[in-house]
Amino acid sequence: MKHSKSEITKELLIRSALDVLCRTSYKGAKLQDVANEVGLSRGAIYWNFKNKIDLYDQVLTHFFEIDSFKHLLNDRALPVVETITNVVHLLLIDEVETNHKSALMYNALVVEKPLEIQPIIDRVDNAFKKMFDSHKALLRHGMATGELRSNINVELETRSFYSFIWGYYTSKDRFFDGQNKEDVCSFVMDKFVLQLL
């Protein structure tokens, strides 16, 4: 599918905003820095976004409200373990660098608590809740079909699974230095997926 120049520019600005925000704070992030990062003028931002709030609204939507991920969790065509394996690969192999930046950005926003974007943060928190609910439903489905063992604490398993992955994203450079993503992926598969059988 071919994208227009305007769509490409908008995507570049969204990715640039992610890069800028994961290195600084919401209040400290300047629209000029976002434009400079991709060699554009500040006018390009105002052509594509109403203001700074709109830009970061679209950044959060782009990186946290991902339809393909929702579809993956809700698809019952594959065996449950294969679905969870696909989730692990998506989160820890395919999209790990972007997810690392997104987690850093989100944690900074939650700590900083800019009032003007609190409704956006609340919406992302709700997206996380829906993701947890979908994952729990997937585990319950696996228990009901006999694909998974029958005594899984779905709440604890789900929260532990995503908490480890989120911790990896936010501490990747500090506590996981020297660990390649394939090793982390294997660890998650052993500790959080294969033990469900």
- Residue range 6-56, pLDDT digits in tens: 788 899 999 999 999 888 888 888 999 999 999 999 899 999 999 999 998
Which residue is associated with the tokens 């450079």? Answer: 173
Confidence of residue 173 (pLDDT cuts 50, 70, 90): confident
Q: What is the CATH number of the domain that holds 54?
A: 1.10.10.60
Residue 88 makes CB contacts below 8 A (sequence gap 6+) with: 185, 188, 189, 192, 193
Confidence of residue 87 (pLDDT cuts 50, 70, 90): very high
Do residue 17 and residue 71 come from a single domain?
no
Domain assignment of residue 164, given as a range: 65-196
Do residue 113 and residue 179 come from a single domain?
yes
Neighbours of 17 (CB within 10 A): 27
How many domains would you assign to the chain? 2
- Which of 36, 31, 62, 176 lies closest to 127, judged by CA? 62
Do residue 55 and residue 95 come from a single domain?
no
The answer to whether the CB of 64 falls within 8 A of the CB of 106 is yes
Question: Which of 59, 75, 103 is the last residue before a domain boundary?
Answer: 59
Q: What is the CATH number of the domain that holds 85?
A: 1.10.357
Hey, what amino acid is at 28? G
pLDDT in tens, 97-137: 889 999 999 998 889 989 999 999 999 999 999 999 999 99
Q: CA-to-CA distance for 74 and 13, rounded, in angstroms? A: 31
Do residue 75 and residue 165 come from a single domain?
yes
